[in-house]
Structure 1
Amino acid sequence: MPCATVFRLVGSACLQDVKAHHRGARNGDTVAVHQTRVALTRFRAAIAFFGPMVEDPEWTRLKSELKWLNAYLGATRDLDVAIGNAPRERLFRTARAESQRQLRRALTSDRYRRWFKDIVDWVNHGPWSHMSDHRLVRLRASPACEYHARRLAGWHEKLVKRSRGLQGMGGRKQHRVRLASKRLRYAIEFSEDVLPKDDFARWRAIVKQLRKAQQILGELHDAEAARALAAELQQRIKTSRAGRQRKPLELLDKKEKERLLQRAAVAYRRIAA
């Protein structure tokens, strides 16, 4: 199967998931908001994976609109996670209601409808699909199994290097490792029907460790994000009206963070093996 065909299949499946969860996300369903973000993250992973052959000027425009949409989805999802971690924080619930109103306006806007139609059209027959550069023509027509094998190996090598020294990293670097882990995991998952079964068996074992590492780093990131969000919302209240000073929200203590990082480091060593 040629690479261009696989990209169309993967991209279309991601966008179909976005469409399937549109009504729920529009109405504030937490699962639908999350699944919409997952689908769009998978879509961006596919773009990065096939980037050498699909990134064109039209994608630059569509990516800008995707960033606009993700700002609303991300704000709402962050509040959902914060509420799950600290359900007694009324600040989060108040902010979530307003965030959902903004998300609903975005998802029911003409801007969103135009973007979704355009991006579906782009996946199927955008400029990338008929650019005449000989290198791009060869890439689009090349066997997907060979391309996937090379690309996965490259992404895996980069992640192994990036994850070294995880326990000594700051929060931002750890978060970047988490994002790279998620991207590699998604790329492996949409390679299952492309690679030979024997070759994919190794990647399946890596996915298991990626899930573990991603979950652990996600817990650390979510705790820090909730703390920062609570501080930001409290500051807004203080600037709008007199409010009492509150203790900072802390969901994980130092020992818990160290324990989680140790577990994540073990997972990354297994990924590297």
Structure 2
Amino acid sequence: MRASKSRPTTRSTANAHAKPATRRNALPARLSPGMACDTAFRIIARRHLDAVIAQHDGTCRGDPDALHQIRIALTHLRTAIRFFSPMVDDALRPDVWAELKWLNGQLGMVRDLDVAIERIVAESGTELAVVAELQRWDEKRAESHRLLARALQSARYRRLVEQTSTWIETGPWSTRRSKDAIRLRRRTLADHATERLTEWETTLLKKARKLKKLDVEKRHKLRLLNKRMTYSVESLADLFADGAAKQKSILKQLRKAQRSLGQLNDDARGQALAASLNGAGLEASNRFLDRKREKKLLRKASEAYRKLDKTKPFGSSDLAPSSEPEA
């Protein structure tokens, strides 16, 4: 990918490493259907926060794959917080959420530029006019990455990791003594997952039926719902038997729809970015306008949703028994 050639030099991150809070209790390695929701949330959230931390240095160096992986891990973490709401909805959650949203915004700008540059290169080759145009894009990408590297090496990022980790382990949500709070923490993962996945799938399919009539903003919201559902099923992989047909079938259609909606969103973001670059405005933004491509992608997404609609919702019977001890 062309954008990977523009890698700014950054200072050593040795003193910028953020460490998660001390973890008081060892948790089971895998999720199980009878596991309590508070334990399940910690397992899932730890996994994804650890994945964010693992990709920190590579992202600072400008590695496109590390950037991609850290964004996926962060989205998984944010999805887990949504998935286990209202159990984790305490006084600190808004602060944790706001900081995770800030980090997502920092990562998103560089990724959008990477995708847009790759699209221009793929479609235009080495035309002289395009080479000149790309220089402006590369400069913007390099500037955005410098800002990202600075953010990832900042005290704010270190506080984010420490605050989020502490909240996962010992946040107010974990010690509230009301009957409802205790019930939510003790509820089995199987019961909660079945209810939440059914709820989200119903909402997703209802909105997807109007896909071809949605404007760019509403289509973007549908894509986020699709991603939320996809990432939740992926995070719960431990609960499904190896080769579970229903899980594979549902994920297949969700990912098909996600690819199409993602490409449509990339086009919209590329057009907006092009219009914002001085001197590259209208001509560059037109590179991302392709009605034929848009119709094709909408058709693919609609087909995936039709197939998903024919699949029976998840039920507790779809969850495999586990040999792991319940917690």
Q: TM-score, normalised by structure 1?
A: 0.92
* Match of residue 171 from structure 2: 126
Match 2:154 to one of 88, 109, 122: 109
In the TM superposition, what whole-angstrom CA distance separates every residue of 1:99-150 from its partner, at most 9, and x where no partner exists?
Answer: 0111111111111111111111111111111111211111111111111111
Distance 1:132 1:25 in 2: 41
Match 2:267 to one of 223, 236, 245: 223
* Match of residue 253 from structure 1: 290
Match 2:95 to one of 42, 55, 61: 61
Offset of residue 82 of structure 1: 1.0
* Match of residue 277 from structure 2: 233
**Bigger mean CA offset, 68-77 vs 104-113:** 68-77
Contact preservation (8 Å) 2:227, 2:258: yes
Aligned residues: 265
Offset of residue 244 of structure 1: 9.4
Q: What code does the residue aligned with 1:48 have?
A: R
**Bigger mean CA offset, 256-265 vs 245-254:** 245-254
In the TM superposition, what whole-angstrom CA distance separates every residue of 1:184-243 from its partner, at most 9, and x where no partner exists?
Answer: 011111222235x39963233111000000001111111121111011012xx5xxxxx8
Match 2:300 to one of 254, 260, 263: 263
Aligned-pair identity in percent equals 41
Contact preservation (8 Å) 2:275, 2:282: no
Q: Report whether the alignment pairs 1:94 with 2:131.
A: no
Q: Report whether the alignment pairs 1:153 with 2:198.
A: yes
Offset of residue 72 of structure 1: 1.3
Q: What code does the residue aligned with 1:103 have?
A: L
* Match of residue 34 from structure 1: 68
Distance 1:105 1:257 in 2: 36
Q: Report whether the alignment pairs 1:136 with 2:181.
A: yes
User: Runs (4+) of structure 1 moved beyond 6 Å?
Assistant: none
Distance 2:309 2:148 in 1: 40
In the TM superposition, what whole-angstrom CA distance separates every residue of 1:52-76 from its partner, at most 9, and x where no partner exists?
Answer: 1012111111112222222211111
Distance 2:100 2:253 in 1: 30
Q: Report whether the alignment pairs 1:207 with 2:244.
A: no
Distance 1:156 1:56 in 2: 26
Over 3 Å counting, the alpha-carbon distance change for 1:244 and 1:165 in structure 2 is closer
Structure 1 unaligned residues grouped into runs of 5+: 238-242
Offset of residue 91 of structure 1: 2.4
Offset of residue 15 of structure 1: 0.4
Query: Counterparts of 1:43-82 in structure 2 under 5 Å?
Result: 43-82=77-116
CA RMSD of the aligned region, Å? 1.9
Secondary structure at the counterpart of residue 193 of structure 1: helix
Over 3 Å counting, the alpha-carbon distance change for 1:77 and 1:258 in structure 2 is same
Contact preservation (8 Å) 1:53, 1:139: yes
Q: TM-score, normalised by structure 2?
A: 0.77
Distance 1:135 1:72 in 2: 37
Q: What code does the residue aligned with 1:202 have?
A: K
Contact preservation (8 Å) 2:78, 2:100: no
Contact preservation (8 Å) 1:91, 1:230: no
Distance 2:45 2:300 in 1: 33
Structure 2 unaligned residues grouped into runs of 5+: 1-34, 122-129, 311-327
Contact preservation (8 Å) 2:274, 2:284: no
